[in-house]
Amino acid sequence: MTLDPSTLLGPLWTLLAYVALGIFAARQLSVDPRPIATLLIYLIAPLTFFRGLVLGGPTPADLLITAALFVTACCVALLVNAVAQRLLPADESAVLAFSAGTGNTGYFGLPVAIVLLPSEGVTLYLFAVLGVTLYEFTLGFYLSARGRFSVRESLLKITRLPLIYAFLAALLFEGIGAEVPASVMRGLDVFPSAYTLLGMMIIGMTLGRVSPREFDLRFIGACVGVRYLLWPALMLTAVMAIQASIGLSPELAMALLLVGVVPMAANVVVVAMELGIAPEKGALAVLLTTLAAPLLIPFYLGLMLPLVTG
């Protein structure tokens, strides 16, 4: 399996165009991104998540992939949180801890997965993404909230997140063999596109309000280090260890490696905006890692693929 760097140009320019629209909306139209962040977290994300699970028809093996990525994301976030709390202010350490467990596996990673993998490989990748997304709206959200709220307040915020209930509802439908009406599923078709568009526009809206003093080299360097050093090494080690023990299909190996090399998640800005914790610095870090992705993804996969397929 090889990756042509030119295949990344389409997804990249599309995402950057959405960011540019967000900058225009903030500067020229004075659009407030906070209500949009709330809309994404409490409505669009859960419906997008529910639709994906219902269409995927999860099997126990698929859910095992989801659980493994969820546990991995949680462990990375907890490790980074323990270190960041000693080195950074509370708001910045909360954003860094949240971002440490996730990546842009959907907006950026999915178009790459579709190019690289056959349909069964894309399905495996999607269930890996579900694990990361579950982390975002459970432990990740809690760690972010702890940058400003008490333990009790943070836990209450998690219980109010509808994405958790969307996940449980999808599993219930699958477990009892019920089908969502076709008309409802057609109505849900618009939500993934809206999720991508609004998620990336929020980065632009936040950047449209950023001043030069928001550029914090220490914070951004920590975000980049976790995303582009820790995660690639972790996923490569995991894939090689699984292959050496019980074996791993080439499609699942590529899916896991791709999870490790995508840029920072746009949801870093969405959650930071919702909780009011350093969204400007988060937006800068997300943008820089996204700009670096067309160079770094082919570089990393070019190094790792021979090690796991040779």
Averaged confidence pLDDT in the chain: 84
Average pLDDT for 266-293: 77
Least confident of 53-57, 118-122, 164-168: 53-57
Residue 226's pLDDT is 94
d(CA 217, CA 209): 18
Write the pLDDT tens digit of every residue in 280-305: 777 888 888 888 888 888 889 888 98
Residue 292's pLDDT is 85
Residue 64's pLDDT is 92
Please, which residues have CB within 8 angstroms of residue 206's CB and are 6 or more apart in sequence? 22, 26, 33, 269, 273, 279, 280, 282, 283
CATH number for the domain running over 5-204+217-303: 1.20.1530
Residue 310's pLDDT is 61
Angle between helices 45-56 and 162-176 (to 10 degrees): 20
How many residues are given for the chain? Answer: 310
Q: Which two tokens stand for residue 271?
A: 């959650």
Residue 209's pLDDT is 72
Residue 220's pLDDT is 87
Each domain of the chain, given as residue ranges in start order, spans: 5-204+217-303
d(CA 93, CA 222): 10
Q: Are 84 and 92 in contact (CB under 8 A)?
A: yes
Residue 71's pLDDT is 96
Write the pLDDT tens digit of every residue in 89-111: 887 888 888 899 999 887 777 77
Band of residue 1 on the pLDDT scale cut at 50, 70, 90: low
Q: Tell which wins on pLDDT, 114 or 131.
A: 131
Q: Model's pTM, two decimal places?
A: 0.81
Max Cα separation, the chain?
57
Q: Which two tokens stand for residue 240?
A: 């090689």
Residue 162's pLDDT is 85
d(CA 294, CA 112): 10
Write the pLDDT tens digit of every residue in 38-47: 888 889 888 8
Average pLDDT for 82-93: 86
d(CA 230, CA 220): 15
d(CA 132, CA 233): 17
Given the structure tokens 């090399």, which residue do they identify? 261
Q: Tell which wins on pLDDT, 290 or 154.
A: 290
Average pLDDT for 166-193: 86
Average pLDDT for 67-83: 94
Residue 128 has pLDDT above 60, yes or no: yes
Given the structure tokens 């699970």, which residue do they identify? 53
Band of residue 187 on the pLDDT scale cut at 50, 70, 90: very high
Residue 212 has pLDDT above 70, yes or no: no
Region at 249 (left for phi over 0; alpha for psi -120 to 50; beta for the rest): beta
Average pLDDT for 41-60: 82
One-letter amino acid of 51: R
